[in-house]
Amino acid sequence: MENEHLRHCLPRDLASGIAELPVEFIYLDGNATNNRTTRRLPITGEILDGKKSYKNILPYFTTSEITPERVNEIGQERLKALYPQIIAIAKNVTGKSNEAEAVTAFRKILTNQSSFYNDAPFPQIESNSTAHKRCTDLTKARKYCPERYKSLLKWMSTCRETMSMLSPKLIPLFYHTGDKITFPNCPIEMLPSFNPSSSAQFFRSTGAACTKPARFGLPFFLENHGPRFSEWSVTAHESWPGHHTQVQAQIEYFKDKYGGVPKWIDDLTSYTFFTEGWGLYSENPVIAEDTDTYKEHPMQRFGMLKWQV
């Protein structure tokens, strides 16, 4: 995998989306070679078509009849509405009125090491295959990956503080008691993921009986931990009012308990359109517009807009 397959992975700017796939040339170590791809499946010889594949895949992620063209239109509409807000934040934070100058200066802020929980780049010995084998739990991470361990503790602490900050703001927005209760009772705890391939925060639900807490996962082996400016938005997305509120509440209050066909359908069906859609909706407008969370906090508001865009 490491010495053969991974070397042929596409650069990030080419690997985003499938509309332009398959590519014309085989890539090696991030660069195109002179060898052309067949653009066909190896066994059937069927011609690969990224746009057609996207159209075929789309129905599995939503129950609506939305087309790829309409998805693109919605994206463009949202971009036109949100991007000017990002430019306004860039000008405000950098103090520059010229858009190009503000964007350039703002990008430097975003990529500065101070935007992350680790004060300096992680040592190679804590990021290579040896570290992947050594640092497989918190105890071992503390011993063999001390810089990552210290950074992780800061990251986890900030996530907990963010959840505590968000919690009282959600009281007027959801039913917490009574017949209409929709806010889950099960607690949520931080869960570091030591899987080297884990690349993003995640949520893991628990059973309706709450015999153990739900989990909010943080990837340990990222190039940098964070960024800080996305923390409020991502925490809202993964915990409350995001996945924890929607998914865990569904398990506790609405999941079929009587078996038969309804339970079978319930267990087998899941639509990313709903779960991730709710996660984004939780970020904006629930947190962004229905609370005062981002007031006087332009960098955190940018973190929310970044994921919306």
Q: Is 27 helix (H, G, I), strand (E, B) or coil?
A: strand
Do both 15 and 147 map to the same domain? no
- Give the pLDDT mean for 204-227: 96
Tell me, what amino acid is at 179? D
- Give the pLDDT mean for 4-30: 82
**pLDDT confidence bin for 303, thresholds 50/70/90:** very high
Domain count, the chain: 2
Assess whether pLDDT exceeds 90 at residue 16: no
The answer to whether residue 20 sits within a structural domain is yes
- Give the pLDDT mean for 282-307: 96
CA nearest to 305, candidates 232, 242, 247: 232
pLDDT tens readout for residues 119-167: 999 999 999 999 999 999 999 999 999 999 999 999 999 999 999 999 9
What pLDDT score was predicted for residue 215?
97
At residue 5, what are phi and psi to the nearest 5 degrees? -75, -45
> Among 32-36, 97-101, 261-265, 275-279, whose mean pLDDT is lowest?
261-265
CA distance linking residue 138 with residue 118, whole number of Å? 17
The answer to whether residue 42 sits within a structural domain is yes
What pLDDT score was predicted for residue 23?
86
Do both 43 and 135 map to the same domain? no
CA nearest to 293, candidates 185, 198, 170: 170
Assess whether pLDDT exceeds 90 at residue 269: no
Three-state SS annotation for the chain: CCCCCHHHCCCHHHHCCCCCCCCCEEEECCEEEEEECCCECCCCCCECCHHHHHHHHHHHHCCCCCCHHHHHHHHHHHHHHHHHHHHHHHHHHHCCCCHHHHHHHHHHHHHCHHHCCCCCCCCHHHCCHHHHHHCCCHHHHHHHCHHHHHHHHHHHHHHHHHHHHHHHHHCCCCCCCCCCCCCCCCCEEEEEECCCCCCCCEEECCCCCCCCCEEEEEECCCCCCCCHHHHHHHHHHHCCCCHHHHHHHHHHHHCCCCCHHHHHHHHHCCCHHHHHHHHHHHHHHHHHHHCCCCCCCHHHHHHHHHHHC
If you average pLDDT over every residue of the chain, what do you get?
Answer: 92
> Quick one: what percent of the chain has pLDDT higher than 90?
71
What pLDDT score was predicted for residue 8?
85
At residue 190, what are phi and psi to the nearest 5 degrees? -75, 140
Do both 11 and 151 map to the same domain? no
Assess whether pLDDT exceeds 90 at residue 216: yes
- Give the pLDDT mean for 264-287: 86
The answer to whether residue 100 sits within a structural domain is no
Assess whether pLDDT exceeds 90 at residue 204: yes
- For the beta sheet containing 202-204, the strands, ordered from the edge strand earlier in sequence to the opposite edge, are 188-193, 214-219, 202-204
Do both 44 and 145 map to the same domain? no
Pairwise pLDDT comparison (259 vs 178), residue with the higher score: 178
What pLDDT score was predicted for residue 121?
97
Domain boundary pick from 48, 66, 85: 48
The answer to whether residue 174 sits within a structural domain is yes
- Give the pLDDT mean for 175-201: 95
Pairwise pLDDT comparison (53 vs 263), residue with the higher score: 53
The answer to whether residue 176 sits within a structural domain is yes
Q: What is the pTM of this model?
A: 0.85
What pLDDT score was predicted for residue 285?
95
The answer to whether residue 168 sits within a structural domain is yes
What pLDDT score was predicted for residue 2?
61
Do both 149 and 21 map to the same domain? no
What pLDDT score was predicted for residue 1?
60
What pLDDT score was predicted for residue 242?
97
Domain boundary pick from 9, 33, 48: 48
Do both 175 and 286 map to the same domain? yes
> Among 73-87, 97-111, 115-129, 246-260, whose mean pLDDT is lowest?
246-260
Domain span holding position 262: 122-308
Do both 43 and 166 map to the same domain? no
Do both 161 and 272 map to the same domain? yes
The answer to whether residue 103 sits within a structural domain is no
Pairwise pLDDT comparison (214 vs 64), residue with the higher score: 214
The answer to whether residue 88 sits within a structural domain is no
**pLDDT confidence bin for 201, thresholds 50/70/90:** very high
